[in-house]
């Protein structure tokens, strides 16, 4: 990698300036992987029978662009992140009725890290651009919890970062080769596995070589 494209040390997940990140991405649309997964659930719904209260976990929810979409689409949501400012911004969102959802129990917000997180059984585990920030030595245990939490015929939606991504040299990040990423989904049918690789910029306008796997997967029943 050229010297000038080396990621600055502050980008390590532990010390990353997440508040500056939330400022930059404020107002962003829900992620495509989430929308695809929700469309798949809609396609499976029997006509005239709306399934009451499916539960989604939005892991690493940040300021809640995906949580807001889930609430708008009548899901129950457990939104988890370890950054209090992201969660504060989620509570203040005006693009979904977050306050009503909190009041009637449709939305629960938990400030928890990937290490300590406890994941109840869920229909959808959504983790948009979040899992690569789990330290590598803790990823396997987190993945076991994720797979266990997703009910049969439930789904995972989210991103993993590839081994050729610029950030793979940052020591507290988790990156996967394509084969390693696919192997994580042994218990699933892959409905979307898009490998994106391109030069571009990160949210803070730093040069970045992106190598990302965009995944929607249905757990075998």
Ligand X SMILES: C[S@@+](CC[C@H](N)C(=O)[O-])C[C@H]1O[C@@H](n2cnc3c(N)ncnc32)[C@H](O)[C@@H]1O
Tokens of 201: 């910029």
Tell me how far apart the alpha carbons of residues 94 and 204 are, in angstroms, rounded to a whole number.
Answer: 24
Segment interacting with ligand X, rule: CB under 6 A, options 59-67, 92-100, 192-200, 207-215: 59-67
* Contact flag: residue 142 with ligand X (CB under 6 A): no
Distances (CA, A) of 71 to 20, 22, 115, 116: 25, 20, 26, 25
Q: How far is the CB of 158 from ligand X (least distance, A)?
A: 8
Q: How many residues bind ligand X (CB under 6 A)?
A: 20
**62/162 with CB nearer ligand X:** 62
Among 7, 37, 41, 65, binds ligand X (CB under 6 A): 65
Q: How far is the CB of 83 from ligand X (least distance, A)?
A: 3
* Contact flag: residue 82 with ligand X (CB under 6 A): yes
Q: Which of residues 4-33 bind ligand X (CB under 6 A)?
A: 13, 18, 25, 31
Hey, which residues does 5 pair with through a beta bridge?
Answer: none
Segment interacting with ligand X, rule: CB under 6 A, options 54-62, 69-77, 177-185, 204-212: 54-62
Q: How far is the CB of 169 from ligand X (least distance, A)?
A: 18
Of the candidates 152, 72, 158, which has an alpha carbon nearest to the alpha carbon of residue 114?
158
CB burial of 13-50 (b: ≥16 within 10 Å; e: otherwise) equals beebebeebbeeeeeeebbebbbbbbebbeeeeeeeee
Would you say 96 and 107 are in contact if contact means Cβ atoms under 8 Å apart?
A: no
Among 128, 166, 168, 174, binds ligand X (CB under 6 A): 128
* Contact flag: residue 213 with ligand X (CB under 6 A): no
Segment interacting with ligand X, rule: CB under 6 A, options 90-98, 124-132, 179-187, 192-200: 124-132
* Contact flag: residue 212 with ligand X (CB under 6 A): no
Segment interacting with ligand X, rule: CB under 6 A, options 42-50, 81-89, 145-153, 163-171: 81-89
How many C-beta atoms lie closer than 10 Å to residue 187's C-beta? 13
Query: Three-state SS across 163-216?
Result: CCCHHHHCCCCCEECHHHHHHCCCCEEEEEEEEEEEEEECCCCCEEEEEEEEEE
Which spans of this chain sit near ligand X (rule: CB under 6 A)? 13, 18, 25, 31, 60-62, 65-66, 81-83, 86, 113-114, 128-130, 133-134
């Amino acid at each position: 990698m050229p010297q000038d494209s080396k990621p600055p040390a502050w980008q390590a997940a532990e010390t990353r300036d997440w508040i500056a990140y939330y400022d930059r991405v404020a107002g962003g649309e829900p992620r495509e992987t989430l929308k695809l997964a929700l469309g798949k659930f809609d396609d499976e719904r029997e006509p005239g029978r709306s399934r009451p209260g499916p539960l989604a976990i939005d892991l690493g929810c940040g300021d809640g662009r995906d949580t807001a979409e889930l609430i708008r689409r009548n899901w129950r949501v457990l939104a988890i992140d370890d950054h209090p400012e992201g969660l504060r911004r989620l509570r203040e969102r005006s693009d979904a009725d977050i306050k009503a959802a909190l009041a009637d129990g449709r939305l629960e917000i938990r400030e928890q890290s990937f290490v300590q997180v406890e994941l109840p059984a869920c229909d959808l585990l959504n983790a948009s651009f979040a899992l690569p920030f789990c330290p590598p030595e803790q990823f396997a245990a987190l993945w076991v919890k994720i797979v266990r939490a997703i009910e049969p015929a439930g789904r995972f939606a989210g991103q993993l970062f590839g081994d050729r991504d610029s950030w793979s040299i940052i020591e507290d990040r988790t990156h996967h080769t394509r084969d390693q990423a696919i192997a994580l989904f042994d218990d699933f049918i892959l409905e979307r596995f898009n490998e994106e690789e391109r030069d571009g910029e990160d949210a803070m306008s730093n040069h970045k070589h992106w190598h990302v796997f965009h995944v929607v997967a249905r757990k075998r029943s």
